[in-house]
Structure formats: C-alpha cells, structure tokens
Amino acid sequence: MFKNLFGTGDPFPDLDREHKSIPLKRKGDINYEVEWRTVDIAKDGHKVIHVDKTRHGETVMIYRLHHHDHNELEDQPIHLCIKIVSQKGIKTPDLNAFLFFYHKNKLMRISDIKIKGNHVSRGYGSILMTAIMQLVDHLQVRYITGIISGVDWDHIDRLEHYYRKFGFDCDLDHEAHFGRIIWGNEAIGATREEFEKLRYEL
C-alpha cells in the first residue's frame, strides 16, 4: 500500500518471499528467544522498539533498522521490520513499514506498510501501528499522512477500518481509486487547518 509516494516503484522490490521457521535457541522458552534476538539485533546496530502478543499466542517483535547514523534534528527515513516468535520457532517474514519523518514540520509520511497473504488479519498490523505510535510520541510527531493507491482498492474496506481504528481520517475517492490518510496529534495541539497549510510547504 501507499505505492509511489516518493516517486516510482515499490520500495521493497526484492522483499516478497517467505522465510522458513528457525528453531528456538532453547526449546519452549520464548522469553529467552526474545531476549537473545533483542541483543542479536542490537549487535547489527538496529533496535527492538516494541514487543507484543497476538490473540494466536505469537510474540511479535518490531525492530527499527539503522543503516546510517541520523541526527534526530534531521529528516530521516524509518524502516521497521518484524520477527514472529512461537513454540514452532521464529520467523522473519517480509512484513515491513517504511516511513519518513520531516523534523522541521514534525510530520511523518507512511510510504508503505507491507502485510499480505496469510499474514493478514493475524494482529501484526495492529502491533506494527502501536510501534509507530510509540515513535510518534518519541519524535513528537504532529501529523501522519500517506496515500492509498488504486492497487490497494480490492481491500479498501479493510484498510479504511484499520486506519480509522487508530484515529486516522480517510479521504477516499472511490471513482478515482485514490485516497489519503491523515492523523493529527491532538494531545499536542495539532489541527486539520494547520495540516492543510503545512502540506503545501512540503
């Protein structure tokens, strides 16, 4: 979803594959696996930012990739990935979120949230959005925006429900198969009027 927000093409052209489950380090010990994976991810310079459980009993780890050292006062891309831990082992499916944060305007764009196939409706998207909202708090984001393109219109009802559940406004043009999502951080005084002025500056 949100294809072509920054230009042309899919930001994840080579990330459409299923990975085999890897056995737990200690059989049956999910807590140890989460702790071990958190440390292992940190060794590569990345960071686990949220851990939660689904209704299916899976433990989901959301981690942020840090490919470059970014000054928090600069605009920056944000790439989030997922690891799924269960008694059957650990999976690293190609579930990704690609965001961009504009520091000056305190605005975050969602370029892509990639969850599809048998990973849909298992709670991963909600856990991922919870992690995004934690970043919003950390970065003091005033607004989140993004575009829904025609390629996602076959499941637009599901998308609309997902975003509205997290407080987004969804402006949808069903004839043109185009939509825009907008979320304002009312806790810090964000308003729709301010956003409309702001988006013309970007």
- Spatial CA neighbour of 66 closest among 78, 57, 82: 78
72 pLDDT band (50/70/90 cuts)? Answer: low
**Which SS3 state, helix, strand or coil, does residue 175 take?**
coil
Q: How many residues does the chain have?
A: 202
Q: What is the percent of the chain where pLDDT is above 90? A: 63
pLDDT at 66 over 90: no
Which of residues 196 and 129 earns the better pLDDT score? 129
| 85 and 93 Cβ atoms separated by less than 8 Å | no
**Which SS3 state, helix, strand or coil, does residue 30 take?**
helix
Output the pLDDT for position 2. Answer: 41
Q: pLDDT of 108-165, one tens digit each?
A: 999 988 877 677 778 899 999 999 999 999 999 999 999 999 988 998 999 999 999 9
The lowest-confidence range among 3-7, 89-93, 162-166 is: 3-7
CA dihedral angle for residue 64, residue 162, residue 13, residue 72, rounded to 10 degrees: -30
Output the pLDDT for position 6. Answer: 34
- Spatial CA neighbour of 80 closest among 95, 91, 68, 102: 95
Helix 124-139 vs helix 156-165: crossing angle, to nearest 10: 40
pLDDT at 7 over 70: no
